[in-house]
Amino acid sequence: MSTVTPTAPSSPRRPADLDDLRRRVAGTLHTPDDPTWDSVRSPWVVNIDQRPLAVLEVRDAADVQAAVRWAVDHDVQVTAQPGGHGAGDALDGVLLLRTRALGSIEVDLQRQTVRLGAGVKAGELLAALDGTGLTFLAGSNPDVSVVGLTIGGGMSWFGRAYGLAAHSIVAAELVDGLGRARTVSREDNPDLFWAIRGGGGDFGIITQLELRLHPAPAVYGGRLFWPLEQMGEVLRVFRAVTESAPPELTLWYHSYRFPPLPHVPEAMRGQAFASVAMAYLGEAEEAEHWLAPLREVPGLLHDLVGAVPLAELARIGGEPTDPTPNLDTSTLLERLDDDTVDRLVAAVGAESGSPLAVFQIRHLGAAFTTGSASEGAAGHIDAPYQLFALGVPAVPALVEPIRAGLDRVELAVAPVSSGTTAPNFLGAGGDVDRCWPADVRARLRAIKADADPLGTIRSNRPVLHTH
């Protein structure tokens, strides 16, 4: 995998004067001599050793603007990282903004929209929408920020019904690379509007986002678990159901190897499973019709399927919310044929000895295929499945075995892999050219050059700086 090489501005006009920054902002500025430094600089993906110049916990949108203007004056790069789920590299010399204080949520039920601050987490927005009959296009984890998830494309449980989340962006307020506050919508700054709809965080620091909401009067879902020995059969039935699934139904296949640790529920601790997770936009009876062939697969051990209040959507995926080390890989799959299933069973099945904690295949299709690149950088996804695999290098000795395990997965799917992936799933240090087609990349670069001519804004997917 090639390495992303961020460019820092070449020769600082003045040394970065952090006292000057402290005077300009109301938020809390942390520097390497703070006792709390190691916790504030660390991202959610804890094995990425970030060494920024300083960390600013902004108090409000004015702080964001003051920080970017300071960064321009001092030839420093600046990045927003609410929590660090998508941390990309070491951020040497970069001013890191923590945006959690931008926590406003204003739901407009009549217009079916929400305006939210850049610090709002997915779980917080889902809780605010619970009972309204409307949802935003949430993914699997409640702890990611809504802004980070959405501007990187946003692959939601509800994407088969409503498309990539980025296409639900209605408007944004952002501070561009010269420190100018810009309103962004289809009418105002349409180029920036197009770029943040799937092009990531390279074009400015967003302070507010407005999203279109979508109907979700009832959600039914959860997970079914079998012994990992059943992987081949479960995967084949999963594929058969996905081939005729309606847009309201989303299925993700998983192989899990849970560690023998206390935070894992006792019934699963230290064990390995094949599993299917499901989200259905509708009532139990219709959903169960689609689940019936899966329920017939012998050996079902655990059944966690039922009605899901929106506030508890994260229960479906059951993912960790505490900071975690991880190494991962992902790619879109053009098909899932029998040979691929057999190779995957050999790579991560019960007899494989694989050290990977999670292996996942998401079913895409339906509305994922409908977005247009003229509407936003996210475009659409033709591939019917996405593969994602992850190891947890809890100790350094696990790094090499996990890398080898990821290589085995990549090899297993090589004949059916598109070679591309969604920006949100590109692993740290991955090649950003894999995220967008060449024409989209060219337009993103032109918009970046206009909105941020000095290269002050630094995202985890820098559109200008590839291998």
Ligand X SMILES: Cc1cc2nc3c(=O)[nH]c(=O)nc-3n(C[C@H](O)[C@H](O)[C@H](O)COP(=O)(O)OP(=O)(O)OC[C@H]3O[C@@H](n4cnc5c(N)ncnc54)[C@H](O)[C@@H]3O)c2cc1C
**Helical H runs in 167-214?**
190-196
374-413 mask for ligand X (x: CB under 6 A)?
----------------------------------------
Q: Which is nearer to ligand X, 148 or 179 (CB)?
A: 148
Residue closest to ligand X (Cβ) = 148
Task: In angstroms, give the least distance from the CB of 200 to ligand X.
Answer: 6
CA distances from 298 to 225, 237, 453 (A): 11, 12, 60
- Tell me which of 56, 71, 78, 87 binds ligand X, using CB under 6 A: 87
Choice between 155 and 348, CB closer to ligand X: 155
Residue choice 129, 144, 192, 341 for contact with ligand X (CB under 6 A): 144
Q: Which residue has the tokens 């506050």?
A: 181
- Cβ nearer to ligand X, comparing 66 with 205: 205
User: Can residue 149 be called a binding residue for ligand X (CB under 6 A)?
Assistant: yes
- With a CB cutoff of 8 Å and minimum separation 6, the contacts of 330 are 386, 387, 388, 389, 421, 422, 425, 426, 427
Q: Is the dihedral of CA 253, 259, 261, 266 positive or negative?
A: positive
Q: To the nearest whole angstrom, how small is the minimum distance from the Cβ of residue 342 to ligand X? A: 27
Rounded to the nearest whole angstrom, what is the least distance from the CB of residue 140 to ligand X in the complex?
4
Site membership for ligand X, residue 152 (CB under 6 A): yes
212 phi, psi to nearest 5 deg = -80, 140
Number of other CB atoms surrounding residue 109 within 10 Å: 12
- From CA 37, how far away is CA 272, in angstroms rounded? 38
Among candidate residues 67, 70, 51, the one with its CA nearest the CA of residue 59: 67
Binding of ligand X by 84 (CB under 6 A): yes
Give the binding range for ligand X (CB under 6 A) out of 10-18, 80-88, 128-136, 258-266: 80-88
CB contact set of 440 (below 8 Å; sequence gap of 6+) = 199, 373, 377, 379
Tokens of 311: 């506030």
Nearest to 277 by CA among 311, 232, 314: 314
Query: For helices 231-244 and 284-295, what crossing angle results, to 10°?
Result: 140
Closest approach of ligand X to the CB of residue 110, in Å: 27
Q: Which is nearer to ligand X, 341 or 435 (CB)?
A: 435
**Binders in 33-52 for ligand X, by CB under 6 A:** 43
Residue 187 or 322 with smaller CB distance to ligand X:
322
Check binding of 155 to ligand X (CB under 6 A).
Answer: yes
Binding ligand X (rule: CB under 6 A), the pick from 47, 168, 352, 459 is 459
Q: Which residues contact ligand X (rule: CB under 6 A)?
A: 43, 79-87, 99, 118, 139-141, 144-145, 147-149, 152-155, 200-201, 205-206, 319, 424, 459-460
